[in-house]
Amino acid sequence: MISKVEKRDRSMDKRTTISRPTEGAAGKTGSWRDQKPVLDQKKCKKCLRCWIFCPEGAIVRKEGDAVEIDYEYCKGCGVCMKECPFKAIIMVREGEVYENQEECAKEEP
Amino acid sequence: MAIKDLPKDEYLLKGNAACPGCPASQALRVVLKALGQNTTMVVPACCTAVIQGIYPKSAFNVPLMNIAFEAAAACASGIKAGYKAQGNDDTNVLVWAGDGGSYDIGFQALSGAAERGTDMIFICYNNQMYSNTGVQRSGATPYGASTTTTWTGKLEHNKDLSEIMIAHHIPYVASACVSYPEDLYAKVQKAKSIRGFKFIEILAPCPPGWRFPMESMVEQGRLAVESGMWALYEVENDKMTFTGPSKGILEGLRQRKPVVEYMKAQGRFSHLFKPGNEGKMKIIEQHLDVVWDRYRKQSSCLK
Ligand SMILES: Cc1ncc(C[n+]2csc(CCOP(=O)(O)OP(=O)(O)O)c2C)c(N)n1
Ligand code: SF4
Ligand code: SF4
Ligand code: SF4
């Protein structure tokens, strides 16, 4: 999608202040996080509620509606955890070791 | 319409300047999924003017024009006229404004564009205050809510902009809430399919402004609807239809949740729970009865 916009005529750029679509326009917002959502793929029923409610769009919807958290940009609000009907997402303190850490990591592709 | 049916495309890009748990950005994702790439946005002063980013970067993957607080709908009218002159009658022209930019400061331009019937969609994301400048009261702030300009609670009821827009006799008016994305998506899609001036209002519970934990953003919107403090409906060519839980409330099939359940998690209402403020709670409950009474009368007329 971004590439489509990139192809536009840029001849006016020097004369006007036109901003261009940029992922991370405010930087790598993952660094804002003090709590981190951790997804247990075994509990996930692919209902996509976390995907649609994530304000940041940091839940990536993949083929077959599996979901994955984009930690580069996730701001750690916890909305996904609260809205998951199957309790497949927990919040852990950023940097802390949590239960099932290894198992979750294994599940994450 | 299920969540799975909503398209994967994202037009609000990750890594923008919105607060964590921001209702405006969640609603924008849904709205832009419904409108698609062929959309031009106009944004007056509000949080979204910050969310969009600083030159030379934009967090939006559609063209967006910033404009003075008062002028969003006038600017969009000009953009529509310009597109038309170029032979383009297809691009969705969308105004995305806060309640300050629609209820109050942007109202004259909004009313003018609606009266002219300009072909555009005007969406007000209503967080019931001026968030971007640090939570001042607006015409949308409900009675009793504390803001930085109504410390001890607002003494006036909010006005009801959707009702005012219904009185403009435009082809489509809808009231939605961030917590019901399928409902919102369907309403935006309907607005897109109709020619003329369309108005949609979206309740947007703002964690720092309303003072509740950010993970409860969606829950607060749900409680607003279930308690009747917000209603989901649409008015298409003078036919009024309630949607989601509001439909059940209107038809008497379900009870409104007690308003205290909605208010208790929000710091802006916390003073109302202190002794001596029972009267204020009563005023809120009585006003809610009046609002729903009117909804009932209205919906039986507008069939
Ligand atoms: C004419 C004018 N007055 C005041 C301001 C300062 N200002 C910028 S954003 C804002 C608040 C906007 O409130 P609202 O429209 O409700 O959007 P929100 O910030 O809640 O998203 C104000 C007062 C301005 N930019 N222009
Ligand atoms: S809300 Fe929970 S169950 Fe649904 S897709 Fe997200 S993680 Fe999986
Ligand atoms: S914590 Fe918030 S920003 Fe991060 S993935 Fe969950 S909903 Fe999205
Ligand atoms: S103040 Fe509220 S509406 Fe504004 S960016 Fe923050 S969460 Fe969003």
Give the model confidence (pLDDT) of B21-76 as tens digits. Answer: 999 999 999 999 999 999 999 999 999 999 999 999 999 999 999 999 999 999 99
Give the total number of structural domains in chain B: 1
The residue among A19, A65, A67, A73 with the most chain B CBs within 10 A of its CB, best to mutate, is A19
Q: Is A7 within the bounds of a domain?
A: no
pLDDT of amino acid A18: 87
Q: Is A108 within the bounds of a domain?
A: no
Q: Is A3 within the bounds of a domain?
A: no
Q: Is the peptide bond before B56 cis (omega within 30 degrees of 0)?
A: yes
- Residue B281, pLDDT > 90, answer yes
Give the model confidence (pLDDT) of A2-24 as tens digits. Answer: 445 556 667 766 677 889 999 99
Please indicate if any CB of chain B lies within 8 Å of the CB of A47: yes
Q: Is A86 within the bounds of a domain?
A: yes
Please indicate if any CB of chain A lies within 8 Å of the CB of B22: yes
Q: Assign residue A55 the CATH number of its domain.
A: 3.30.70.20
Give the model confidence (pLDDT) of B157-209 as tens digits. Answer: 999 999 999 999 999 999 999 999 999 999 999 999 999 999 999 999 999 99
- Assess: ipTM above 0.90: yes
Give the total number of structural domains in chain A: 1
Q: Is A14 within the bounds of a domain?
A: no
- Tell me the three state secondary structure of residue B203: strand
Tell me which of A11-15, A19-23, B292-296, B297-301 is least confident: A11-15
Q: Is A53 within the bounds of a domain?
A: yes
Range of the domain at B283: 8-301
* A37 contact partners, CB below 8 Å, separation of at least 6: A69, A74, A76, A78, A80, A81, A89, A90, A91
Q: Is B3 within the bounds of a domain?
A: no
Q: Is B2 within the bounds of a domain?
A: no
pLDDT of amino acid A96: 75
Q: Assign residue B193 the CATH number of its domain.
A: 3.40.50.970
Q: Is A52 within the bounds of a domain?
A: yes
Give the model confidence (pLDDT) of A28-71 as tens digits. Answer: 999 999 999 999 999 999 999 999 999 999 999 999 999 999 99
- Going B9 to B14 to B17 to B22, the CA torsion angle's sign is positive
Give distance in angstroms: CA of B13 to centre of ligand 4. Answer: 16
Please indicate if any CB of chain A lies within 8 Å of the CB of B272: no
Range of the domain at A95: 36-99
Residue B74 to residue B113: CA distance in whole angstroms:
7
Give the model confidence (pLDDT) of B208-222 as tens digits. Answer: 999 999 999 999 999
Give distance in angstroms: CA of A77 to centre of ligand 2. Answer: 16
Which one of A53, A72, A76 has the shortest CB-CB distance to B26? A53
Residue A74 to residue A57: CA distance in whole angstroms:
8
Contact of B216 with B208, CB cutoff 8 Å: no
